[in-house]
Structure 1
Amino acid sequence: MPQQNFNEKLIARLKKNPDFVDESGELLPAAVKDHAWKLDHTLIRLLLSDPDIKSTFFDEIDGHWVFNHNTFIDYINEKNFLANSYTQFRNKIGLNIDGKFLRERGEVSLVWPYKDCVLEGGQTKEEEKRKEIFFNEILAQDEIDQMFDPKVLTNWKRHTAEGEQDVTDIRCDENGTIRENLIIKGNNLIALHTLKQQFRGQVKLIYIDPPYNTGSDSFGYNDSFNHSSWLTFMRNRLEVAKELLRNDGVIFVQCDDNQTAYLKVLMDEIFEDAVYATTIYIQVRYGQKTLSEKNDFQKLIEQIHIYHKKAFTPIKPTEEYSIEKFVWEIIEKSEGQTLELGSKSAVLFKPGEYEIIQKESSLTGLKETWATGTVLKNNASGKFFGSYIAPRVTIDGLGCLYKVEGIGEDGLGYRYFTGPKRSGATKGKFYSGIPTTRLKELQSGESKKELVIPNFYNFADGFGNCRHEGGVELRSGKKPESLLKLIIEMTTEENDIVLDFFCGTGTTLAVSHKLQRFYIGIEQLDYHENDSVNRLKNVIKGDTTGISNEVGFQGGGDFIYCELMQYNQTCIEKIQDAQSSEELVELWGDIAENSFLNWYVNAENPEEAADNFIAIDNLEVQKHCLIELLDKNQLYVNLSEIEDTDFAVSEADKALNKVFYGDSH
């Protein structure tokens, strides 16, 4: 019998006992479990009254049915029981975690940075082995309710070359799309959902460099996630990011070999209606500078998976078309002898009846090509040589010149061929002018030759020397501006929108600014003087590092900074900053009075509960316990509650949110 039908039958059966339902008729799982532990006869009779339920929770022994109360209680405890929409997320990716496919889990991973002021401000040596701690919390779909609703944005500031200013307006184009550079502070999953209303289908390029799940404990980024949490964490964010891409948009996701295979399978599933372009391999360090000499195999490479919408076309690198090989001139000294070569008319010149001279390269010069090897198979002139010129050596002799009519794209109307010059030789040459279309481009000064895009780049030098770029530092995870320049120029034009929702120290944003692209950056961690805001302030003031000199950037421009308006998130930060159990107990009273708690939490704080809490004797575990009590739907203020006086949203913020969200506000 299908699981859903069995659940419905079991719930309906249990609801027949008034002790198992509340005043509104909803089932009380706690009451059911309590009766099960007591082996209550009323419950057992109720379960025995249905054959399917009986066969599931009872074992037959010598004609007697024995209640397996442990199996029953485990079933009631499963999130699938009373899970509502939990099991509706049936997008099977094939990555099995805890006995369920990743998309069957229907979970959302929220990652909270543990903020320790000593760690963030005082760590100066990577060898100290200190790291930011993330609380990983998995929320079932039926628990998130309004979490993904648009949020109120607050603390708006515009940063210009003249300094920080209040935001009085938000620039939009004729279609109402925001045309500003934005940095948003707050949980990146919730911020992405907040952006959907305004930027769905507007972003040309997404580049992210997420934590790699390496267990790295370098300063700054903490890459430590367990495997299943990391996959859930990435799925949540990539699914909503996909909605923001234009119909010709593209996403680049960088990772190392700890997760690249799993990430590739995950992205194949999420972007199943898009196109997997390639995986680019980036050398990020030199072999002699390996991270640890204890490793038998040195990790020098990181990968970037590229997926794009079907209308996307990359901007290929180009180079000026060279005429340096067009240096030959052929002088005819006689009228020659006419003949037919296949279907072509030709003129034969014997040795002494022509002269081939080398000159300076010019638009009228000819290029010499040997008719040999693959040229004989893949080139039209090469094929003609093999079929008609080479066999003529036994008829016309060595060292002859053939002027063949009706061959070539150079507008000359003919092509010169020379036959073998020595006895026993089979090789010859042909001479061609500059193709007509290329010649016109050269004459107008607009000739460019497209180059292929390789799937390997060596940025070891860039990674080794990017530590101080932009006037900010991050000893692990920082990317060179040269890498982002390559990606942005390959995929976008000026004024396109670039998004990075793991913006860290702001490399993507800085390069976008210098290349005159609009950008959106999201970051939830505090890097203080090394964060993206300070980097972009340096850029506006004329930062000379990175690609500045190469692209002629001398400063200027502006960006807007704003934050998701916190509510329960403020409580989380207070919990994270606490230094003792006693401080947490004191916080609990304030939290119970002034915060939104999960519906099942008893806001009272009896003395024995406080004693039990202190007895846990592990500050981190205690913090996690308190955070679990908070309603995660109320981490940030929902836009729908902007007029609620409890949240005290200022009139200025109301006005800016109205502009940001447009007519749907």
Structure 2
Amino acid sequence: MSIETTLVSRVNEILKGFDEYWVDGVLNKPKVIDAIKDYDHKLLKALLSDEVIKETYSTNVEGAIIFKQEEFIDFFRYKDYWNDSYTRYSNEIGLANEGRYLRYNTDVVLNFPYKDTVLEGGMKKDDSKREEIYYHSILAKEEIDLLFEPKVLANPKRYSINNVEEVTDFSENDNLILKGNNLLAIHSLKKRYAGKVDLIYIDPPYNVKSSNNTFLYNNKYNRSTWLVFMQNRLKAAKELLTPEGAMIVAIDENEQAYLGVLIDEIFPNYEKHLITIVHNPRGIQGTNFSYTNEFVYFIIPKGKKTIIDRKLSEDEISWSPLRNWGGESRREDAKNCFYPIIVKDNEIVGFGDVTPDDVHPEKNEVVDGYTYIYPIDASGVERKWRYARQTVEQIKDMLKCVESKDGILDIQIGKDFGQYKTVWQDPRYDANGYGKQLLGKLVPDNPFTFPKSVYAVYDCLYAVVGNKKDAIILDFFAGSGTTGHATMLLNDNDEGNRKYILVEQMEYVESVIVERMKSLIHDDQLKKQNSSFIYAELMEQNSSFIRLIEEATEESELEELISDIKENAFLNFKVEIDRITNEDEDFKSLSFNEKKKVIIASLDNNQYYVPYSEIDDSTYGIGEGEKSFNHSFYQGGMKDE
């Protein structure tokens, strides 16, 4: 007998001792579920008295027995407790006869487990803060393949400084803002961008347990689910990177260590560097410490020089004489290091030739308004410059002319670059001033309470692609669009042509991200370097019904939706759709939220969005302009799946 058969038998045996859960000999499942959710002491005590149930659905934490409530409810809700349940086939893949599964015992069940954390990952509503937002659906391999096929991109528009217009083609120079489930979007992007992305920067849900929730994403779900959620996205995104490409992941202390282990597993041939960024100098109050920082993982190819040198601010530069001093610093120690540096109006304008051995100049010599400065010290000793004549022009930007109190000019050197350190602290990283307030000026009345400082993101991007003016940068947790803003600032700084791809699935894509990038297009302080962008959406199919189900607040709304779904939606053949009606006693007895879950379960998982392979199906009413855009986007890529 299988463990599942044993569990079913033992749970049934225990429940027989509770008359309040039975009606005319039929178990009232919703009432049992409500009791479990309310942690009914008598029921839990009875369940945990059974060693098999206790071992399967509890854990011991320092002597305290913790009941795995959600796992038990999932098991109880979907296992076969009575023969006429409309959910009786929801967890099985197996043999069927005339459209229905064969009724066989649980000794043999063909399962293809895949914890996808996709199907309820839409996060359409900010206030849907359930404790566990993803359900681990069992999907067959062919279902996974179909689920991850490229999707139709709907309603494409190009936003430029001049206007907004419908677009029928996509080019290599286009920036892209994409609305839709980000894992499905990543798989769609693979068709065009596999092996082409230079940098991925993401700021995912931090899964915080405190009230200091700085994200609009749901941050309240189990760590194991969060790690699966992240694993699937990181694995898929990795395929988009060039061989030299890097990934940057922002995170806080709550999941930092666990994320690090996951990164080691997914990126075995990469270096992993953990950087601390002080983003909230005022601190977030904790029980014992006030947190002022968060973390950023830099994931870079092993053994390669990926991180460029950091530009130092003026107050960080340490200046010293270009003239050598001490041992082996005289002119005769390196004759090609004795030459004049030419200055006009205290600015370096050129370099003279190496001075002949028999010429002994003064430290400063003025000729036709130009001052020729030699490496001679205050005692008149002829020394040498620290750079030979053949290399000094390469470091001209590191030099400056200084004047002493007695009017003597000299040359100093100061490195304006240096290696990045592992702790970043700068007033510009303050998420209040350069995140929230800055976003508020660009997009008034936006819902974000603590968006990233654009300069913190800018410096992260610069560290990897500061010298790659044509880099492609992807952010599939786009949030308020800070990565796109930072990319524009990079291009503005060096007249680059970097492209950004922003993916976001929340409803504020157009009201916040698009509006932010539109505001930047019309910002007079920017040079408009590669500022236009294309906005498109994964074309919804069943996902539109899911949104309506989640938004429903009345029984009458659900009844109307059920009728619409039965007529127009793509249905899950495992669910007996005719049983989903209030005329059915089992369905009628469910709570309002339980009914929502059952209706959502009736929808075909693979039809949440329209596959690109179905673009010519007249059922979807896709116009010729949209078809042209999709063909341009998918067939224009260099990578074939």
Name the TM-score, length of structure 1 as normaliser. Answer: 0.63
Amino acid at match of 1:617: S
- Residue 350 (structure 1) aligns with: none
| Residue 206 (structure 2) pairs with residue 212 (structure 1) | yes
Partner of 1:37: none
1:492-571 matches, within 5 Å, as: 492=465, 493-516=468-491, 517-527=498-508, 530-542=511-523, 553=527, 557-571=531-545
What do the CA deviations read for 1:285-334 (whole angstroms, capped 9, x no partner)? 12xx3333x6112222211111123556222124699764246899xxxx
- Offset at 1:278? 1.0
Structure with greater contact order relative to length (CA < 8 Å, sep ≥ 6): 2
Whether contact under 8 Å (1:323, 1:362) holds in the other structure is no
Partners of 1:218 and 1:443 in 2: how far apart?
45
CA contact (8 A) 2:478 2:504 kept: yes
Equivalent position to 2:375, from 365, 385, 393: 365
The answer to whether the aligner puts 1:626 opposite 2:599 as a matched pair is yes
The aligned residue for residue 196 of structure 1 is 190
Residue 299 in structure 1 maps to residue 371 in structure 2: no
Match of 2:621 in 1: 648
* 1:280–1:645 Cα change, 3 Å: same
Contact kept? 1:598, 1:631, Cα under 8 Å: yes
- 1:599-638 matches, cutoff 5 A: 599-605=573-579, 607=581, 610-619=584-593, 621-638=594-611
Q: Distance in 1 between matches of 2:512 and 2:218?
A: 15
Structure 2 residue 446 is matched with structure 1 residue 452 = no
Structure 1: how far apart are the matches of 2:139 and 2:631? 29
Matched ranges for 1:588-607 at <5 A: 588-605=562-579, 607=581
2:275 aligned partner = 280
SS of alignment partner, residue 264 of structure 1: helix
Find the aligned partners of 1:633 and 1:528 in 2 and give their Cα distance: 24
Pair 1:31 & 2:24 matched = no
1:200 corresponds to which letter in structure 2? Answer: A
Q: Secondary structure at the match of 2:134?
A: strand
What SS class does the counterpart of residue 135 from structure 2 fall into? strand
Residue equivalent to 2:138 = 140
Q: CA deviation at 1:282?
A: 0.9
Tell me what 1:315 maps to: 308
Q: 1:614 to 1:106 in 2, by over 3 A?
A: closer
After TM superposition, give the deviation of residue 475 of structure 1 in Å: 3.9
Q: How does 1:141-540 map to 2 (within 5 A)?
A: 141-142=139-140, 143-171=143-171, 178-215=172-209, 216=211, 217=213, 220-273=216-269, 275-286=270-281, 289-292=282-285, 295-310=287-302, 313-318=306-311, 324-326=320-322, 364-365=374-375, 433-434=386-387, 438-442=391-395, 450-459=417-426, 462-465=430-433, 466-470=435-439, 471-472=442-443, 473-492=446-465, 493-516=468-491, 517-527=498-508, 530-540=511-521
Q: Does the 8 Å CA contact 1:540/1:558 hold for their aligned counterparts?
A: yes
Q: Deviations over 1:118-152 (max 9, x none)?
A: xx6xxxxxxxxx66558413233414340000111
Query: In 2, distance between residues paired with 1:107 and 1:367?
Result: 72
1:583 shift after superposition: 1.4
AA aligned to 1:507 is: T
CA shift in 2, pair 1:455/1:618, >3 Å = same
> Is residue 481–residue 507 contact of structure 1 (8 Å, CA) maintained in 2?
yes
Find the residue that maps to 1:649 and give its secondary structure.
coil
Between the two proteins, the alignment pairs up a number of residues equal to 470
Question: How far is 1:365 from its partner?
Answer: 2.6
Cα distance change, pair 263–528 in 1 and its aligned pair in 2 (3 A):
closer
Q: 1:362 to 1:259 in 2, by over 3 A?
A: farther
Give me the CA root mean square deviation: 3.7
Deviations 1:504-553 (A, max 9, x none): 11000111123232010000001267521111011111176xxxxxxx54
Judging changes above 3 Å, is the alpha-carbon distance between structure 1 residues 530 and 200 closer, same or farther for their aligned structure 2 residues?
same
Quick one: distance in 1 between partners of 2:218 and 2:426?
A: 23
State the secondary structure of the residue aligned to 1:138. coil
1:82 to 110, 113, 116: 110
Read off the aligned partner of 1:598 and give its amino acid letter.
N
- Unaligned stretches of 5+ residues in structure 1: 1-19, 34-72, 87-104, 121-129, 172-177, 331-356, 369-400, 404-411, 417-430, 545-551
Q: 1:183 to 1:452 in 2, by over 3 A?
A: same
Unaligned 5+ runs, structure 2: 1-93, 327-361, 366-370, 400-412, 492-497
Q: Residues of 2 paired with 1:227 and 1:566: CA distance?
A: 29
User: CA 1:529/1:518 → structure 2, altered by over 3 Å: closer, same or farther?
Assistant: closer
Per the alignment, do residues 530 and 359 of structure 1 end up closer, same or farther by CA in structure 2, a change over 3 Å counting? Answer: farther
Q: Using the alignment, how far apart are the partners of 1:646 and 1:453 within structure 2?
A: 55
- 1:631 Cα deviation from its structure 2 partner: 1.1
CA distance in 1, matches of 2:592, 2:123: 15
Q: CA deviation at 1:574?
A: 1.3
Q: Write out per-residue CA displacement over residues 382-438 of structure 1, whole angstroms, 9 at most, x where no aligned residue.
A: xxxxxxxxxxxxxxxxxxx9x9xxxxxxxx9xxx8xxxxxxxxxxxxxx87445565
SS at match of 2:280: coil
- For 2:158 and 2:546, locate their aligned partners in 1 and report how far apart those are by CA, in whole Å: 28
Which AA in structure 2 matches 1:464?
Answer: N
Q: CA deviation at 1:618?
A: 3.7
Corresponding residue of 1:572: 546
Counterparts of 2:448 and 2:541 in 1: how far apart (Å)?
33
Equivalent position amino acid for 2:164 in 1:
E
The one-letter amino acid of 1:514's match is L
* Structure number, greater radius of gyration: 1
The code of the aligned residue for 1:156 comes to: P
State the AA in 1 paired with 2:375. G
TM-score between the two structures when normalised by the length of structure 2: 0.66
Amino acid paired to 1:568: N
- Secondary structure of 2:507's partner? coil
Question: For 2:250, what is the secondary structure of its paired residue?
Answer: strand
The DSSP-based 3-state class of the residue aligned with 2:168 is coil
Cα distance change of structure 1 residues 555 and 195 upon mapping to structure 2, 3 Å threshold: closer
Matched residue type, 1:210:
P
